[in-house]
Amino acid sequence: MTETVDRTATPGTPKQLHPAIEATGLTKRYGDKTAVDHLSLRIDRGEVFGLLGPNGAGKTTTILMLLGLTEPTAGTAKVDGIDPTRAPLAVKSRVGYLPDDVGFYDDLTARQNLRYTAELNRIPKQAIDDRIDMVLEDVGLVGDADRKVGEYSRGMRQRLGVADALVKQPSILILDEPTVNIDPEGVRELLLLVERLRSDQGVTVLLSSHLLHQVQQVCDRIGIFVAGKLRACGTVDELAATLDDRWVFSVGLADVDDARALLSSIKGVKRVERSEGRWTLNADRDVRVPLHDAVTAAGGRFTHLSRDRADLDAIYHRYFGQAQDGGLA
Domain boundaries, the chain: 15-240, 247-308
Q: Is 247-308 the same fold as 15-240?
A: no
Say whether pTM exceeds 0.95: no
Q: What is the C-alpha to C-alpha distance for residues 322 and 261, in angstroms, rounded to an integer?
A: 36
The residues that bridge with 283 in the sheet, in sequence order, are: 247, 269
Q: What is the C-alpha to C-alpha distance for residues 311 and 62, in angstroms, rounded to an integer?
A: 26
* Per-residue confidence (pLDDT) for residue 185, from 0 to 100: 81
Q: With 0-12 CB in 10 A as exposed, 13-18 as middle and 19+ as buried, what is 10?
A: exposed
Cβ-Cβ contacts under 8 Å for 328 (sequence gap 6 or more):
226, 231, 319, 322
The CATH number of the domain covering residues in 15-240 = 3.40.50.300
Q: What is the C-alpha to C-alpha distance for residues 283 and 107, in angstroms, rounded to an integer?
A: 61
Comparing C-alpha atoms, which of 204, 179, 223 is closest to residue 62? Answer: 223
Buried b (16+ CB within 10 A) or exposed e, 106-138: eeebbbbbbbebbeeeebeeeebeebbeebbeb
- Domain 247-308 listed as CATH 3.30.70.100: yes
* Per-residue confidence (pLDDT) for residue 312, from 0 to 100: 62
* Per-residue confidence (pLDDT) for residue 310, from 0 to 100: 60
The residues that bridge with 138 in the sheet, in sequence order, are: none
Positive or negative torsion for Cα 100, 104, 106, 112? negative
CA angle 316, 225, 56 (to 5 degrees): 100
106-119 confidence digits (pLDDT tens): 999 999 999 999 99
Q: With 0-12 CB in 10 A as exposed, 13-18 as middle and 19+ as buried, what is 12?
A: exposed
Mean pLDDT, the chain cut into blocks of 10 residues (329 residues total): 43 61 97 96 95 90 96 96 95 91 91 95 92 92 95 88 92 90 81 89 92 82 91 84 73 94 94 90 90 95 84 68 46
* Per-residue confidence (pLDDT) for residue 286, from 0 to 100: 87
Positive or negative torsion for Cα 140, 54, 84, 204? negative
Instruction: Tell me how far CA of residue 251 lies from CA of 287, 292, 296, in angstroms.
Output: 12, 11, 14
The half-sphere exposure of 131 on its side-chain side, counting CA atoms within 13 A, is 23
* Per-residue confidence (pLDDT) for residue 70, from 0 to 100: 95
77-105 confidence digits (pLDDT tens): 999 999 999 999 999 989 999 997 788 99
> H or E element: which one contains 89?
helix 88-94
Instruction: Tell me how far CA of residue 111 lies from CA of 104, 108, 154, 158, 174, in angstroms.
Output: 11, 8, 17, 15, 22
Beta strands in the chain (DSSP E): 21-30, 33-43, 48-52, 74-79, 95-98, 172-176, 204-209, 221-226, 229-234, 247-254, 269-275, 278-283, 301-307
